[in-house]
Amino acid sequence: MKKILLTFALLAVLISSCQDKTKEKLDEAKEAVTEEVKETIDSAKIKAESKLDTLKDKAKTKLDSVKIKSALKMEEAARKLKESVSK
């Protein structure tokens, strides 16, 4: 009877120590995954900001180009109007 109780007690200790090790491994894995997800999010955020900056620069360049073309056309129209008035 003592041997059976001793065996059960030993099994209980082994099972509980295995559960602790498993918990530790799960916690470590959870931390690793959390860190990896954070790094991935940061990387995606940096890429998105970079692309947004590039698009803003392209839009500004395009807008400046349109403004210049418009100004040139207005100057041309003003010149033609002056010529037609002076005739």
What's the CA gap between 12 and 16, in Å, rounded?
6
pLDDT in 10s for each residue of the chain, 87 residues? 777 777 767 677 667 666 667 778 888 999 999 999 999 999 999 999 999 999 999 999 999 999 999 999 999 999 999 888 886
Token pair belonging to 55? 């698009």
What is the predicted pLDDT for the residue at 66? 94
Token pair belonging to 11? 């099994």
Domain that holds residue 3: 1-87
Give the dihedral sign, CA 28/31/37/39. Answer: negative
What is the predicted pLDDT for the residue at 74? 95
Q: How many domains is the chain built from?
A: 1
Token pair belonging to 16? 């509980």
pTM value is 0.53
What is the predicted pLDDT for the residue at 47? 95
Q: What is the mean pLDDT of the chain?
A: 87
